[in-house]
Amino acid sequence: MLSFAVLRIRDFRHLMFTRFFITLALQAQAVVVGWQIYSITKDPFLLGLTGLAEAIPALLCALVSGHFVDVGKPHLIYRTCVGLLAVNTLTMAIIAGGYINTPEGWIVPCLFAGVFVSGIARSFVMPSAFALLSGYVSRKDMSGATAWLNTGFQTAAVGGPAVAGIIYGGYGPHGAWLLPAFSLLIAITLACALTPHKRGEIEKREPAVESIKNGWKFIFKNPVILSVMALDMFAVLFGGAVAMLPAFADHVLHVGPEGLGALRAAPAVGSVLTALYLAVRPLRHLSGKLLLTVFAGFALSMIGFGLSTSFWLSLACLAASGAFDCVNVVTRTSIVQLLTPPDMKGRVSSVNTMFIISSNEIGAFESGLAARLMGLVPSVVFGGVMSLVVVASVAFFSPKLRKLVIDTHHEHK
């Protein structure tokens, strides 16, 4: 069954395009912030600190953000935090973009402060959007809706940095800051048009600490959700090779910066094409075997990339990794969405956010450390092999995930 029907849902369209413009803005903002900080300081260490400046508040706030989403009104939290992102980016644009006379010594601290605030806002945006989705989309349309969301996300993830880089090259920060600023203005306009989230009244509001504990207890008592989150975290932790792409482009493939751009784009191209296919032909049956298979495919793609000395074969391996990762995202997100009760969606999503942030940030560190200890090519091959070990371990120790099959057209029991 084709999944264009989900696009007829007004609130889903608004949610999808809001997420698209948020992603476009934040990806573009990351490029502008990175270029501007490095052009001022010439210190690559500060580039690494920008990631931590956003990850640390996001991780800390994720501990409580899910609770507030579950006991509050997700649409109001979503609007407020998208509005905070917009105001924060506008402030950064005015100061760092040179729209007011600002001493150069103030610009870098301003950028770090803005990145810190962005991390706080993002920790609330993700669980509130997760909670809103199930209020707008029916069970049978969930996998198709997730695929459409992922299509928009990947498209923005590719387009944001590319367009921001082109504008920065031609017009400097003065022009480049306009892209994230206007994108977030569009996002907050769309977010304000969302219909209030409909759900039953909460009979008893738990204390915050008890609520957060219950969210973690729910995840640890649900072997399928816990296995899905752990599988994603450790497979990405070991299997990701994005941080090593500059070194591969230079020392292994000898393709220079132009080739590096193509290597960075290849996973997103594979992901976007796969997401479009899954959007128009959504998965009706979500299974643990499918999830384990695509994780294994992702690991094998990374091993192939690590062993390749051909630029075109490397592109193909990276594109395949993006395709496998897209199926993983759609399947994993849909499973967690369908197995989580409405009053737990915020807390479960916030914990999932912590897993994702941890795997991405720590994964980049692991890749660099492994490359230092083992060498460039062995480190990527080792990471792929370890990802296969993770998949095999989860398959062995979690028979419920291995046997899981969810028919999205019928209630799961």
Comparing 87 with 377, the larger pLDDT belongs to 87
**Which residue ranges form the domains of the chain, and what is each CATH number?**
1-194 (1.20.1250.20), 208-413 (1.20.1250.20)
- Cα gap 18→184, rounded to integer Å: 9
**Which pTM does this prediction carry?**
0.76
pLDDT band at 2 (very low <50, low <70, confident <90, very high): very low
Q: Count other Cβ atoms within 10 Å, centred on residue 45.
A: 7
DSSP letters, 271-329, are HHHHHHHHHHS--SEEEHHHHHHHHHHHHHHHHHHHH---HHHHHHHHHHHHHHHHHHH
Q: Is the pLDDT of residue 222 over 60?
A: yes
Please write the tens of the pLDDT for every residue from 322-345: 899 889 888 888 888 888 888 788
Please write the tens of the pLDDT for every residue from 174-184: 898 999 999 99
Please write the tens of the pLDDT for every residue from 18-56: 999 999 998 888 878 877 887 788 775 676 577 678 778
The answer to whether 406 and 287 are in contact (CB under 8 A) is: yes
Which residue type sits at 111? Answer: L
pLDDT band at 364 (very low <50, low <70, confident <90, very high): low
Please write the tens of the pLDDT for every residue from 117-141: 998 998 899 889 888 888 888 878 8
